[in-house]
Structure 1
Amino acid sequence: MTRDSSLVTEFDDHRERLVAMAHRMLGSRADGEDAVQEVWLRLARQEQGSIDNLPGWLTTVTGRVCIDMLRARRARVATVPQADLPEFTVSEDTEAPDEAAVATDAVGLALLVVLDSLGPDERLAFVLHDIFAVPFAEIAQILGASTDAAKMSASRARRKVRGADLPSDGRQRQRQVVDAFLKAARDGDFDALLQVLDPHITWRSYGPDGVTVTLGVTEVIAATERGARAAVVARRVLVNGAPGVLTWSRSGVPLSVMACTVRHGRIVDVVAVVDPRRLATMDLPTCDEIGG
């Protein structure tokens, strides 16, 4: 086996781990793939025998590529302010998925929203340490900071994450809540909707003209009842690894994707995409694929 083919094999052994890390740090699997491709290019330029610990080297370089991308992104946002929608990954929910595989492959939308609010250093320190157990000494080298500074960045991020409305219920309980919401909406059951929606629910709907925010259960139920009267087909799907809702017209055209955050048995937050242009760019299941 040549040096190049051996290097490709070794790198491929670590690729999925690196993509998972980069995905969480950057919020987009496509960006994560780009970052890992850059890591490969840097590895290919290394002299043979110059790396003593390949897994550690790959983690460090992936972190450095990602922090550079995060800082560059923050600089662009500072000059051209815009509120963008986190990446949606939508797939069929079979009710019995490989939970470990789902956790590895998908980033919960609620966590992505929180991570997007963090500074680059906070985000990298939190993801690497709290999710991938990378020691703070290594994180400090990536950030070009002291170990104490890296710990402080992770601590600040941790406080923000704890203060967010992240899901508190297990996957199966989330499914039950989303299914109860769908049934109540189809039946027009006001009392059942009150049971499944948090009184202070926030519903963000991204349409062609921007985002509309609806606050409070009464307003959300009114909007839900209007939607229930429309000729739509609604099914539970996985949105970024958590149970959500996908709707189609009777002719099978996607109308909306809803990411639902469930806490203590109630839906507390919904992020919905209803913009046909955005929906057209998403890889969505068809109505027939999930029993429509």
Structure 2
Amino acid sequence: MTHDTSREQQFEAQRGRLLTIAHRILGSYADAEDAVQEAWLRFARQDPASVDNPAGWLTTVIGRVCIDMLRARAARAEVPFGDGSPELVVADDVDGPEDSAVLADLVGIALLAVLGSLGPEERLVFVLHDMFAVPFSDIAGIVGKTTGATKMAASRARRKVRAAPTSPSALHEQRAVVDAFLQAVRDGDFDALLDVLAPDIKWEHHTARGVTVTVGAAEAVDAVRRGRRAKVTARRVLVNGTPGIAAWSSRGKPLGLMVCTVKDGRLSAISSITDPVRLATLALPEP
């Protein structure tokens, strides 16, 4: 067996884990694939005699590649989660699921959005240490900080993650709020609509012409009142693991997707996407 063949086999044995790490850190499968490819190029150029532990060496490299990509995003003011053009996973939603494995998948998807709110170092430290048990001393070398500072970054990240609404109980509460919103819209009950909207709700409208933002419950009700004249079919779906709303025309053409944020039992933010080009990139359920 040649050294090149042996090295490729060593890398392939780690590829799946490296891709999972990169996806958790970067939040994008395309970027994760790029990071893994860069890790392979570095591994292929490395003197085999200098790598005693391929798994550990590759974990360090994928971490360094990912932190460089995150910092480059920050320098370009790119926001891959939440604002801008995040990756959205849309799926059917039912009042369950009772199956724990399905719930774990939903929480995992929602966690990606939460990780997007962390700073580059916080995100990398949290993923490597809390999800993949990489020692703080190793992570410190990746982010260029002391072990103590790395532990502090992990603590900050944990506090933010724990405060995020990703638990099954939070999912049930979010469903109830989204369902109440949908029912009020269908009934034309604007008093009930005001009850379910936070007074300072922020509503982003992503259209083919760009993005507009309205703030306030009264403005949101006006937007709903204007939209009720359209003949659409709307129902609750899961968007990145949390309840949202999808709408279709009478012929089954996707018309819009609403990403909903629930806080303290009310809708605190909505991001609605009606841009046909953007909608065409999403795998929406059938109406």
| TM-score normalised by L of structure 1 | 0.78
SS at match of 1:145: coil
Following the alignment from structure 2 to structure 1, what is the Cα–Cα distance between the partners of residues 12 and 173? Answer: 36
Alignment check: 8 A CA contact 1:19 1:33 kept: yes
Q: Distance in 1 between matches of 2:54 and 2:13?
A: 11
The answer for the alignment partner of 1:99 in structure 2 is 103
Letter of the 2:104 counterpart: A
Q: Closer, same or farther in 2 for the Cα pair 1:157/1:286, shift >3 Å?
A: closer
Q: Deviations over 1:16-45 (max 9, x none)?
A: 543343223223222123212333443455
Q: 2:150 maps to which residue?
A: 150
SS at match of 1:87: coil
Shift of 1:140: 0.9
Q: Counterparts of 2:115 and 2:274 in 1: how far apart (Å)?
A: 19
Residue 122 to residue 17, structure 1, CA distance change in 2 (3 Å): same
Counterpart check, 1:111 vs 2:110: no
Please give the alpha-carbon distance, in whole angstroms, between the structure 2 residues aligned to 1:197 and 1:276: 27
The secondary structure found in structure 2 opposite 1:114 is coil
Q: Structure 1 pair 107/20, CA: closer, same or farther in 2 (3 Å)?
A: farther
Tell me, yes or no, if the aligned pair for 1:86 and 1:109 is still in contact at 8 Å: no
How many Å separate the matches in 1 of 2:213 and 2:112? 17
CA offsets 1:186-236 (integer angstroms, 9 cap, x no match)? 111223323322222211121222221121222112212222221111121
Which residue is 1:284 aligned to? 283
CA contact (8 A) 1:203 1:220 kept: yes
Q: How many equivalent residue pairs? A: 278
For 1:33, give the aligned amino acid: E
Q: CA deviation at 1:9?
A: 6.8
**Distance (whole Å) between structure 1 residues aligned to residue 106 and residue 162 of structure 2:** 24
- Could you say what the CA RMSD is over the residues aligned between the two structures, in angstroms? 3.3
Partner residue, 1:239:
239
**2:76 partner SS:** helix
Distance 2:245 2:3 in 1: 49
The alignment partner of 1:200 has SS state of strand
What is the 5 A alignment of 1:9-158? Answer: 14-46=14-46, 51-77=51-77, 84-94=84-94, 95-96=96-97, 98-104=102-108, 106-108=109-111, 111=114, 114-115=117-118, 118=119, 120-129=120-129, 132-154=132-154
1:13 shift after superposition: 5.9
Q: Retained in 1: the 8 A contact 2:113–2:240?
A: no
Distance 2:64 2:23 in 1: 14
Q: Which runs of structure 2 are paired with 1:208-287 in the superposition (5 Å)? A: 208-280=208-280, 282-287=281-286
C-alpha distance 201-34 of structure 1, shift in aligned 2 (>3 A)? same
Kindly state the Cα deviation for residue 2 of structure 1 after the two structures are TM-superposed.
Answer: 8.5
Give the drift of 1:84. 2.5
Per the normalisation by structure 2, the TM-score is 0.80
Q: What is the alpha-carbon distance in structure 1 between the residues aligned to residue 138 and residue 205 of structure 2?
A: 40
Q: Is the 8 A contact 2:19 2:32 kept in 1?
A: yes
Task: Give the partner amino acid of 1:193.
Answer: L
Q: Per the alignment, in what secondary structure is the counterpart of residue 111 of structure 1?
A: helix
Contact 2:88 2:282 in 1 (8 A): no
| Displacement after TM superposition at 1:152 (Å) | 4.5
Tell me, in whole angstroms, the C-alpha distance in 2 between the residues paired with 1:49 and 1:102: 43
- Structure 1 residues 176 and 20: alpha-carbon distance in aligned structure 2, compared to 1, 3 A threshold: farther
Moved more, 175-184 or 121-130: 121-130
Contact 1:18 1:62 in 2 (8 A): yes
Checking the alignment, whether the CA contact within 8 Å between 1:110 and 1:261 is kept in structure 2 is no
CA contact (8 A) 1:177 1:265 kept: yes
CA contact (8 A) 2:122 2:154 kept: yes
> Which residue identity lines up with residue 283 of structure 2 in the other structure?
L
Contact 2:184 2:193 in 1 (8 A): yes
